[in-house]
Structures are given as structure tokens and as C-alpha cells.
Homo-oligomer: A and B are copies of this chain.
Amino acid sequence: MPIEATNDFVIRFANVNGSGSASANLLFAKAILRMGAPIAPRNIFPSNIQGLPTWYEVRVSERGFLGARGGGADMLVAMNAQTFAQDVAALSVGGYLFYDSTRPLPPTMTRGDIAVIGMPLTELCAARYSDPRQRQLYRNMAYVGALAALLDIEVGVLEELIAERFKGKDKLIEANARALRLGFDDAKTRFACPLGLRVRRSEAVGDRILVEGNYASALGALYGGATVCAWYPITPSTSVAESFERLAGRYRVDPATGGKNVAIVQAEDEIAAIGMVVGAGWNGARAFTATSGPGVSLMQEFFGLAYFAEVPVVVVDVQRGGPSTGMPTRTQQSDLILCAFASHGDTKHVLLIPDGPGEAFEFTAAAFDLAERLQTPVFVMLDLDIGMNSHLTEPFRWDDERLYDRGKVLSPRQLDEIVEFGRYKDVDGDGVPYRTLPGGHPTLGAYFTRGTSRDRYARYTEDPAPYVDNMERLALKFETARRLAPAPVLTSAGAPAPIGIVHFGSTAAAMDEALALLADAGLAADALRIRAFPLSPDIAGFVRAHERVFVVEQNRDAQMKTLMTSDLGLDPADLTSILHFGGSPITARFIADAVAARLKPAAAPPILEDVT
């Protein structure tokens, strides 16, 4: 039986990278969004430039479940011969296979339990376009048109999107619209449209926006007042810096002089990038870098310097599959420990852990306040799923009254007024000392910054007492950070629940649905989403308040659990790990199944608590 579903299905596009499909697929997704139905598109792409398989998955969910759904897709748009067989095999029973029937499909290549929809796309385009590049591009547009017919997507919405995209280039608008129509019309004549899968106008999206986390983070840096960005390209973080550059080109050009109110440098490597950020932070600019695991590894020495010399630094770490070069185009949450304890010696760092683009925007902006307030590195822990996929998100908001918290910087006037300046004195009892900026007061407040031990007046010393004093102050400062960092967010089951689920970051996208699945199975659970390290004491309270607590992570080694036991003194025996680390985004089904399986009394937990 073909699947019947409206505004609740998954469609998967199988393409070859570099074939122009990304643009067409995005157009498709956006049209559904414009019709008001919530969507969650996800890219699965290889670590190369052209010619390898790439997939694009769009989940449509009226209920607003926007995590990866898992399981097979309901419909497959099979545009890649290389992966055809495996793609077809992965289709759900009752699903729909859409393919280019220019060449006939050998019977061995299909299945009996799916609906097969063949359209001679290549042939259609070959007839109309002579330029091979045009053929390929318009073939993509044609299948979008066909899908519109098959899924009942309003073709007018698609045309509107095309018109917006090519605004001012009427010839292109027309050409693209024509290709779209070509597919649409052909499908209408060829098939009984629509299929069992349908898109229907809805109000479910509301005023939400569709946006990538990396762009949101860059926007946060823009709004947060970043003036220096030093970076080195690395997947999946590159688009943070590149978006920032584009945004700055639009919003940071002085209208009077044309001068840029920003400096963006593509450094020679990550060590130089973080070095520039440290130099700029020391010199009073809001500075950041964006990188991924290998960059974080390379930056370690500088993180220790910034921690110990107390220099504000913002780092956006878009996590990918590790270790080493690992899986550069896959997602993971596996840099937690490295970032939390970055560098040798006793160090602890502040991590902000957004759940998606919305918080990526907020937390990146907030990171600059926190870094300056605390005079220390602050990490914004994104991951590839958040960063490089588009997510449906509440619109960004900004309070125009909001002022940047530049932290404890003594102005020349204040220097004149105070009795005594001690760069590393804890004047306020919060572990955060006062600093001065180079070039300010002509005779007061200059001090020497170094990574070596020094006393409260920034004088070099090798005495144990001032060293210990300073290290204890830094530990106290970390307690201040604990107070300032965003608190965890509770999703309550309503009624008292024995099960508690702790999660963080991109897992949030699947959590509501997982909770619903569990509730359906009679397992009511509360969920607590961690949003920062140092960890809030509320997390300990949550653990104590539940009989059974699961910690869901997208890494192999239960890194958050280690942070919880280390930072909060929780008993690891009270925390059951659910670990997903294959590089694809975690799904609600995975979480719900794992929780349920572990609650079965018979099931002895395997040594290594993971599942693919």
C-alpha cells in the first residue's frame, strides 16, 4: 500500500555533488515552507568537490518534529546512478521512487513494495536545451516542477521564489520558470497527481524562519559587536566566517567614508588565527575565530595563554566527526572535553551550547559579553548539523536598548581616581580583576601581560603563594561564570516523571519527538537541556529528582557525563548514557528506543553503550 500522508513525510534526494541539485532542492524545500508547513532539510555530503554522492533530505512535519526522523524515506528522488540500488533499498515500504526514466530501469533495480514514478527528464531537457550545462541545470528545475505536481505543492509559490531569487534578471526568471513548468506539466499529464504524499497549506510555521546555524552564529557575532575575525577555512565552520564577511560587507561599512568597521583576516593557519584573536582581545577589540576539531587541537597552547593571561576570546567550534580528520562532513558532539579543559595545566573554560540557529545567534552575541566580563575564552559549541543545515527557528530578535558588557576595563579617568591598580587583584570578590587597555592613560595602568606566574600587580614571580592565590582566584572566577552562563532548560512531562533525560545541543531537535514517542509508550519523561559549562547546580537537582537519568550524547565516550561527574560531583552510576556517534544527526526513534531498551529489566547494558 502506498503511504498516505499529508504534511508528514520524508523525501530524500540522491544527487551527485557539483551537479547543481543543491539549488533546486532548496527551492523545493522553501516552497513547502512558504505554504506554511514546517520542514527540516538536511544535507549529507561527501568530503570532496565534485562527482561523489550527496543526499538531501526534507522532512515535512505538521506537528513540528524537526529532528532527523530516521528510518527510510517516504519518497526518493533518485538522481544518482552510483547509489541507485542502495537508495532504493532504503526506501520505506509503500514509499515512492521518482527517477529519470530516459534510460529504462532494469527490473532488478526496483522493489515490489514501492510505487515507481519514472519521468524521462534527460530526454525532456535534451529536446529543449542544446547547451549541456543548461540541460543539467534545467533538468534539476524540471524535477522540482514534477514534484510540485506530484505532491500538490503550489507552483505559484515556486514561481514566486524563482522571481525573488533572480530579481532584476528577467531572462533567468523566465528560463527557470519555464523549466519548472516543463516538469510540472509533464507530471500532470503522465501521472495521477497528487500522490498519497501531499503538502497542504498550513499555519504551523507561523513567523518562523529557515536558517543555517553558521549564518546565525555569524549574525550573532555581527550583533554582538565583533570587530576582529581571524580564521582559517575548515569544514564545517567555514561558512561562519564567510557569512560574517558577507554580513560585514553589508552592515559594517561606514556610510560616510566607506571604511570598514571590522577587520577580517584569513590567517595562514589556526594557530595564527587564534593568536590574532588573542592579540585583538588583549587590545580591547571584540574578536573571534570559527573553527572545527583540528583547529581546536592546534589552538590549545593559545587557549591556555588566554585563560591564564585573562584575555577575552570567542571561539565558535562547529564540531564534526572526529578523531583526527575523521569525518569532516558529518556531525558529532565530541569536542566537549577538549574544549572544557583546553591546554596543559589546570584550565577550565566556558562553553555555550546552543540547540540550533536561534541560540547560535543569541549565544554567539552573548559570548562576547561573557568573554569580556570574565576575561577568558568562551567557546560556542555548534556542530555540523546545526551549522550547515537549515533549521526552522523563531525569528531573531534584538533589543535596541541592549548595551555591550565590556567588562571591567578601567578608563583613564577611573585610573586617575582609584587608589591603586592591580591587574590581578580580586577587588569585587568575584574572581574577575580589572584591566586597562594599551594606549589609554599616559602614565597609569600600564602592565605586562604574560603566560607565566605573577602576583596581583602583574609582576613576574615564581613564589608559590601568589601563584596559588592567582589559581584560586581563577577557580573562583569559574564559579562566577557558572552564575552568568545560561541556565538549563526544562521540558516537563507535566505530571511527576521517574525518568529524566539530560541532553544538549543539536539533540534538542529530536527531543520533543522522542518525549512524545516515549509518552506514547507510557514512559513519561522530563528532559533537561544543558546550555553551558560550567554546569548549573540545577542539573544536579534534576538528577537527584529522577529515579533514572539518561544522558544523551552524540559522541562515543560520554563526554558530557564526564563533565557532569567532574564538575558537579554526580555519581556516574546515576547516569545512563545513550550514545550516538555514527555522524548522522541523532533521531527521536533512536533516543526513544534506547531509553525503552534500557528500562527493560532483563537488558544488561553492554560495556560500550552505543548503538549505530
Interface residues of A (CB under 8 A from B): 46-47, 292-294, 296-298, 300-301, 303-305, 307-309, 321-330, 332, 334-335, 337-338, 341, 343-348, 450-453, 462, 464-465, 467-468, 471-472, 475-476, 479, 555-557, 559, 561-562, 565-566, 569-573, 581-584, 607-608, 610, 612
Contacts and interface: CB of A to CB of B under 8 A. Distances in A.
22 contacts: A46-B462, A297-B304, A298-B301, A301-B324, A304-B324, A305-B324, A309-B324, A324-B451, A326-B452, A327-B452, A329-B462, A330-B467, A334-B344, A334-B345, A337-B341, A346-B556, A346-B559, A346-B581, A464-B584, A561-B566, A566-B566, A571-B572
Ranked nearest first, the 6 interchain pairs of A and B with the lowest CB-CB distance are: A322-B345, A464-B582, A293-B344, A324-B451, A323-B345, A297-B300
B335 A323 contact: no
B612 A464 contact: yes
A337 B304 CA distance: 14
Contact of A465 (B346, B570, B582): B582
Nearest to A306: B324
A444 B471 CA distance: 56
B464 A583 contact: yes
A598 to B, nearest CB: 16
Nearest to A465: B612
B556 A475 contact: yes
A355 to B, nearest CB: 21
B344 A323 contact: yes
B468 A581 contact: yes
A450 B327 contact: no
B467 A321 contact: yes
A467 B583 contact: yes
B324 A343 contact: yes
Nearest to A339: B344
A305 B324 CA distance: 5
Number of identical monomers bound together in the oligomeric complex: 2
B326 A582 contact: no
A173 B293 CA distance: 60
A345 B332 contact: yes
Given A304-B324, A335-B344, 20 more contacts: A292-B344, A294-B301, A298-B298, A305-B325, A307-B323, A308-B323, A321-B345, A321-B467, A322-B343, A323-B344, A326-B345, A326-B451, A334-B346, A335-B345, A346-B556, A464-B582, A468-B582, A471-B556, A566-B566, A571-B573
A324 B452 contact: yes
A326 B389 CA distance: 41
B325 A451 contact: yes
A472 B297 contact: no
A69 to B, nearest CB: 16
A472 B581 CA distance: 10
B47 A462 contact: yes
A86 to B, nearest CB: 10
Given A297-B300, A346-B555, A573-B569, A467 B323 contact: no
A298 B270 CA distance: 12
A610 B322 contact: no
A322 B335 contact: no
Contacts of A330: 462, 464, 467
Given A297-B300, A472-B608, A571-B571, A324 B308 contact: yes
A462 B327 contact: yes
A322 B338 contact: no
B453 A327 contact: yes
A343 B323 contact: yes
A472 B345 CA distance: 30
A471 to B, nearest CB: 5
Nearest to A52: B462
A335 B347 CA distance: 10
Contacts of A468: 581-582, 610, 612
A496 B468 CA distance: 36
Contacts of A569: 572-573
Nearest to A44: B462
A328 to B, nearest CB: 7
